[in-house]
Amino acid sequence: MSVPDYALEDTLDFKFTTRAFATGIPTTLGGTPVVQVYEDNSVTQITAGITLSADFDSVAGLNNLRIAATAANGYEAGKSYAAVISTGTVGGVSVVGEVVQQFSIQRSPVNWGKVTAPTTAVDLSATDIQLCDTVTTNTDMLTAAAVNAEVDTALSDIKLDHLLAVADADDVADDSVIAKMVHNGIVTADWSLYDPTASSLVELSTLINANATKIGSPAVSLAADIGTAGAGLTDLGGMSTAMKAEVNTEADTALTDIHLDHLMAAAAADVVVDGSVIAHIVSATEDWSTFVPSTDSLQAVRDRGDTAWTTGAGGSPPDLLQSTTIATLASQTSFTLTAGSADDDAYNGAMVVVTDASTSTQKAVGLVLDYTGATKTVTLDADPGVFTMATTDNIDIIGKLASSGASAAAIADAVWDEAAAGHTDAGKAGQQLWTDIDAVLVDTDSLVTTVGAAGAGLTAINLPNQTMDITGNLSGSVGSVNGGVTLADGVEHGGTTATLRLGAAGATPAFYVTNSGGDAARFEVTASAGNGLHVMANGSSAGFFAEGGSSGFGMKARGYGGVAGLSISGGPTGAGLEVEGGSTSGDAVSLTATSGVGINAPDGITGDITGNLSGSVGSVTGHTAQTGDTYALANGAAGFVAIDTVVDAVKVKTDQMVFTKANELDANTQSINGAAVVGDGNATPWDGA
| Domain boundaries, given as residue ranges, for the chain | 5-109, 244-291, 303-398, 410-453, 502-668
CB 365 within 8 A of CB 25: no
Residues 6+ apart with CB under 8 A from 287: 274, 279
Same fold, 5-109 and 303-398: no
Q: Is the pLDDT of residue 490 over 50?
A: no
Longest dimension (CA), the chain: 213
CATH top class, domain 5-109? mainly beta
Kindly state the percentage of the chain with pLDDT values over 90: 26
**E-strand stretches of 185-319:** none
Q: Span 303-398: which CATH code? A: 2.40.10
Residues 6+ apart with CB under 8 A from 683: 456, 476
**What whole-number distance in Å separates Cα of residue 88 and Cα of residue 97?**
10
Mind listing the pLDDT tens digit for each residue in 257-309? 777 766 666 666 566 788 787 877 878 888 878 888 888 888 777 776 665 55
**What whole-number distance in Å separates Cα of residue 309 and Cα of residue 303?**
10
CB 339 within 8 A of CB 347: no
User: DSSP secondary structure string, 389-451?
Assistant: --TT-EEEEEPPPTTS---HHHHHHHHHHS-GGG---TTSHHHHHHHHHHHHHHHHHHHHHHH
Question: DSSP state, 277?
Answer: H
Mind listing the pLDDT tens digit for each residue in 406-441? 667 778 777 777 777 767 777 777 778 878 888 898
- The predicted pLDDT at position 533 comes to 67
Rg (CA), the chain: 64
Residue 400: closest CA among 349, 341, 346: 349
CB atoms within 10 A of CB 392: 12
Q: Kindly report the pTM of this predicted structure.
A: 0.24
Residues 6+ apart with CB under 8 A from 169: 162, 196
Mind listing the pLDDT tens digit for each residue in 14-34? 999 999 999 999 999 999 999
Amino acid identity of 604? Answer: G
Q: What is the mean pLDDT of residues 653-663?
A: 84
CB atoms within 10 A of CB 251: 10
Which letter, b or e, does each residue of 165-191 get, where b requires 16 or more Cβ atoms within 10 Å of its Cβ?
eeeeeeebeeeeebbeebbeeeeebeb
Mean residue pLDDT of the chain comes to 76
Residues 6+ apart with CB under 8 A from 492: 499, 673
How would you list the strands of the sheet with 675-678, edge to edge? 671-672, 675-678, 687-688
CB atoms within 10 A of CB 477: 16
Q: What is the mean pLDDT of residues 75-87?
A: 95
Residue 79 binned pLDDT confidence (cut-offs 50, 70, 90): very high
Distance of CA 560 to the CA centre of its chain: 75
Torsion angle defined by CA atoms of residues 352, 357, 362 and 365, in that order, rounded to the nearest 10 degrees? -10
Residue 2 binned pLDDT confidence (cut-offs 50, 70, 90): confident
